[in-house]
Chain A
Amino acid sequence: MRTYVLRRIALFVPTLVGASILIFVLMRLVPGDIAEILVYQTGSEASAVQKRQIQQIRRELGLDKPIVIQYVEWIAGAARGDFGYSYTQRRPVSDILKERFPRSMELAILTLLVATVWSVPLGVVSAVRQNTVLDYLARVLSLTGLSLPLFFTGALVLYALVRFFRWLPPLEFVALTENPSENLKQLIWPAVVQAYYISAPITRLTRSQMLEVIRQDYVRTARAKGLGERAVVYRHALRNSLLPVVTFIGWWGGRLLGGVVIMEVIFAVPGMGTALVQAVSYRDYPTVQAIILVMALVFLGINLLVDLLYAWLDPRIRYA
């Protein structure tokens, strides 16, 4: 187990470094000098003033140094929690992250919770009552979820909320610690929409796992010794089929981030996603770089955790 953990962590570091180089290089490919864009956007009159401003911004951003130095300075700053200054929001990028990160994480966790609570039982029912109306209904329901693009379901739900319930996107975000019920009112809809989207693969996997386990000898033994159906299904079959499901849900946890961006845009949640989209459109590159790096870190971190969890649960992995 130790060697597996060490090897897996050793893989994590170069990947993160690779991703950070990728992000950094991509941001340098942007057509036009960032300093020039910033100055022309503010639209001053004299070109001499503009030139001096451009020089000053270049110095502040460190753009006059060689690119390797720039990268090292950026990544060293990031490691200390210093991501530079956002020109459009006029505050340190780390402040933006501190404000937005918990919101997006809350939305992601809520989405996973809703998806699990809804799709695991659905998969179990679908398997236990295989080829009945209930099974078909569950499968059609989850397949539809997979075929409808996230932003379309989101738009439909938003339309229904606005039209029939006079729901309005909140003007100000309320933290969970401040007012839990107000907070949930804001986040539950985007969570439900994305949960519906990701529930299809989870339901399908739970169903196929259950179908496999239910045919095992030990399940037949459990039935043969006279256990009730409930005990057979929950204590023997479900527990043994959950392992891949748990890791699969964890794996989705990472991939969720892309969808969270879309959900935040639709439901006007002021999280990392909306901040990212806004920063891209204002060409606020320190912010874009920082948010993407944090997302990569979360994504890789979750993948690492899932792999370790899987190895811990299933000895075959770590000795492979």
Chain B
Amino acid sequence: MDVDVRNFLRRQPLGAAGAVVVLALVVTAVAAPVLAPHGPKETGFAPYLPPSGDFPMGTDQVGRDVLSRVIWGARLSLYVGMASVLFGITLGSLWGAVTAYFGGATDMGSQRVVDSLMALPPIILALTLMAALGQTVNNVIVALTILLIPTAARTVRAVALGVMASPYMEAAEAAGSSHGRVILRHLIPNCLASYIVLVTTNVSYAIVVEASLSFIGAGAPPDEPSWGGMLTAGIQALETAPWMVFFPGLAISLAVFGLNLLGDAIRDVTDPRLRGGLG
């Protein structure tokens, strides 16, 4: 992927805009302790204060600064989103590639497991997993990882089957390479493009599912600064404190929008079939 930055800007202006938003998100997440005026769990201010100079986004039901929680929320969202996507897509891709390589009963059996995991609507599967695992931030990552594995396994399996049919795979096997060598040196490098696309397009998805879980009260513990959880608290006090809904909601929409734009652009650049298309 030797994509020249200026070329990317010219060809993918929307993607560049997305990159700016994502960059802002990353900076906010990394610099949260410096940027946030207060701690994410720091209480002690009056509850339900409307936005003002001291509290630009107001305070919530127990007197926490909403701005600080939105800023720390960026860290939580990005941490959960990136960690679960890296684990889930990596494990799923390896699973898909390896089962496609061995084929036969291994492949058949693995496909049925993938089917079973995909038999539940995604949010419901995540909710069930959270009920079983208990509500902690790291368990949200585990639940999202399990959610992402079957998707990645199915996609990469299909790609790997295509790769398997190419002459160089046959040549590698004919040359006497071991299974491990063929998989590592030939199969996996040729599935890398779809791996990258899966990673970039799923971060925003993972962030939305994390927020949805927190929203229905099955995600991170309520005192954690999750955008979804903040929205739930806001809905309880919709008439008295609408700012509790607006700001976290805006933050998550912006993050998702930026990640989607960037993800689409990376997909277009990585996938030769879409290159130069009008989309």
Contact = CB atoms under 8 A, between A and B. Distances in A.
A258 B123 contact: yes
B165 interface: no
B116 A22 contact: yes
A159 B245 contact: yes
A276 B120 CA distance: 14
Contacts of A254: 121
B206 interface: no
A31 interface: yes
A36 to B, nearest CB: 15
Contacts of A299: 119-121
B218 interface: yes
Contacts of B238: 155, 158-159, 162
A48 interface: no
Q: Which of A14, A149, A150, A265 has most chain B Cβ within 10 Å?
A: A149
B257 A15 contact: no
Interface string A298-317: 01100000000000000000
Interface in B123-169: 123-124, 127-134
Interface residues of A, number: 48
B108 to A, nearest CB: 10
A136 interface: no
Given A19-B116, A27-B132, A159-B242, A277 B217 contact: yes
A19 B120 contact: yes
Given A147-B257, A151-B211, A292 B231 contact: no
Interface string B11-36: 00000000000000000000000000
A149 to B, nearest CB: 5
Contacts of A292: 120, 124, 128
Nearest to B134: A31
B274 interface: no
A147 B123 contact: no
Nearest to A19: B119
Interface in B243-274: 245, 249, 252-253, 256-257, 260
A152 interface: yes
A261 B209 CA distance: 13
Interface string A271-309: 000001100110100001000100110011000000000
B206 to A, nearest CB: 12
A283 B131 CA distance: 8
A16 B119 CA distance: 7
Given A280-B218, A281-B217, A18 B132 contact: no
B117 interface: yes
A11 interface: yes
A257 B242 CA distance: 28
Nearest to B115: A15
Given A16-B119, A155-B249, A265 B216 contact: yes
Contact of A262 (B132, B133, B216): B216
Nearest to B238: A159
A256 B134 CA distance: 26
A46 interface: no
Nearest to A146: B260
Nearest to B253: A148
A18 B115 contact: yes
18 contacts: A14-B112, A22-B120, A23-B128, A27-B128, A29-B132, A147-B253, A149-B208, A149-B249, A257-B121, A258-B123, A262-B123, A277-B218, A280-B131, A283-B131, A292-B120, A292-B124, A295-B121, A299-B119
Given A147-B257, A147-B260, A265-B215, 19 more contacts: A18-B119, A21-B116, A26-B129, A26-B132, A27-B128, A29-B133, A147-B253, A147-B256, A148-B253, A149-B249, A155-B234, A155-B245, A159-B238, A255-B121, A258-B212, A262-B215, A276-B124, A288-B128, A299-B121
**Lowest 8 A-B CB distances belong to which pairs?**
A18-B116, A258-B123, A19-B119, A152-B249, A258-B121, A29-B132, A147-B257, A15-B115
Interface of A: 11, 14-16, 18-19, 21-23, 26-27, 29-31, 146-152, 155-156, 158-159, 162-163, 254-259, 261-262, 265-266, 276-277, 280-281, 283, 288, 292, 295-296, 299-300
